[in-house]
Amino acid sequence: MYVCGITPYDATHLGHAATYLAFDVLNRVWRDAGYRVEYVQNVTDIDDPLLERAVANGQDWRKLADEETETFRDDMAALQIVPPDHYIGAVESIPAIVTDIQQLQRDGCVYSVGEDLYFDLSRQPRFGSVANLSHLDMLTLFAERGGDPDRPGKRQPLDPLLWQAARPDEPCWDTELGHGRPGWHIECTAIASEYLGQPFDVQGGGSDLAFPHHEMSAALGEASDEGWPFARRYVHAGMVGYQGHKMSKSLGNLVLVRELRAAGVDPMAIRLALFAHHYRSDWEWTAADLTSASERLTTWRAAMTLTTGPSAAATIAEVRTRLADDLAVPDAVAAVDSWATLALAGRGSDPAAPRELATAVHGLLGIALA
């Protein structure tokens, strides 16, 4: 599994957390079923938004990236998210990225616009099969999400940038491709190919990555390795809204995990609040989400400290069944609710049940109840 990571300049908001929680549950479900999971996540530690924020803050871009990456990883640990087996930065992957671009050059898929290098999408007949959008929709989203469809000299408006030649006052690296830095999409292609091979099972991320990022990454991967598919499945988490708009760093309408934690909010309550919604759904964050989750956490912990309760076997089986149904976490949570209600009502006499269910809830849902 490859999950696209953060651009580290303002981490971690609840939209990030909801996405990585979804793939944490998938990781847990696979491992519970006995699979060996290889999980890779990148961090885009060189990109235009990061550089722009560093300039605005009067801060060194490397220091900003390092600080925000560390904050993100700390937030993930607090939320009980099992860390990836490989957590790879774009900067450290530049040699692999250069190698992939050179292969694309040998295959005749690369052309120059000035000193910049672009991928020729006409060489990829399956382009468009990931997000399944119209050409007009792709053009619109490409312009909104970091693309340059109107740049003179490009063969096609949607052709993605592979390598950007050095710009004044911007970081760059000396490579066989020249003095510059990589484009966004080739970064994930190179990292996924290096650490997982091709095809791998799942490429994941927020639904806003379906196009252009996952579409472009797949096109590049399938061209560079002369193989299809790049990933067997593309899995996308819904967007979290706040104050009437999608929660995003560009808008600034963020609820940050670190700020909730600093205010004394239990990370398990944050996790449960995000679990109230199916991972593919778009939804709006409100303070009521956190209130309900805190109450649920208190109830669960009270039930798990009882000396007896109803047998846990049926509830654990129900949790597994619900999670196997497209990660239906809200239904799995409801199954635990039902057990806790019965236990607190004095139903059941199994002394092992509270401990067994607490262990299963921690393992499958990542909720620590001790």
- Compute the distance between CA of residue 188 and CA of residue 5 in angstroms, rounded to an integer: 9
Query: What count of Cα atoms within 13 Å lies in the side-chain half-sphere of residue 210?
Result: 18
The dihedral of CA 24, 25, 31, 37: what is its sign?
negative
Q: How far apart are CA 366 and CA 126, in angstroms?
A: 38
Residue 6's identity, in one-letter code, is I
The string of DSSP letters for 110-150 reads: EEEETTEEEE-GGG-TTTTTTT---HHHHHHHHHHTT--TT
d(CA 361, CA 275): 13
Question: What is the full per-residue pLDDT of the chain (370 aa) written as tens digits?
Answer: 999 999 999 778 999 999 999 999 999 999 999 999 999 999 999 999 999 999 999 999 999 999 999 999 999 999 999 999 999 999 999 999 999 999 999 999 999 999 999 999 999 989 999 999 999 999 999 999 999 999 999 999 999 999 999 999 899 999 999 999 999 999 999 999 999 999 999 999 999 999 999 999 999 999 965 578 999 999 999 999 998 888 887 777 899 999 999 999 999 999 999 999 999 999 999 999 999 999 999 999 999 999 999 999 999 999 999 999 999 999 999 999 999 999 999 999 999 999 999 999 999 999 999 8
pTM here?
Answer: 0.95
Q: How far apart are CA 342 and CA 364, in angstroms?
A: 21
The DSSP element (H or E) to which 362 belongs, if any, is: helix 353-365
**Domains, the chain, with CATH or none:** 2-240 (3.40.50.620), 286-365 (1.20.120.640)
End-to-end CA distance of the chain: 30
Helices (H), 79-231: 94-106, 135-144, 184-196, 215-224
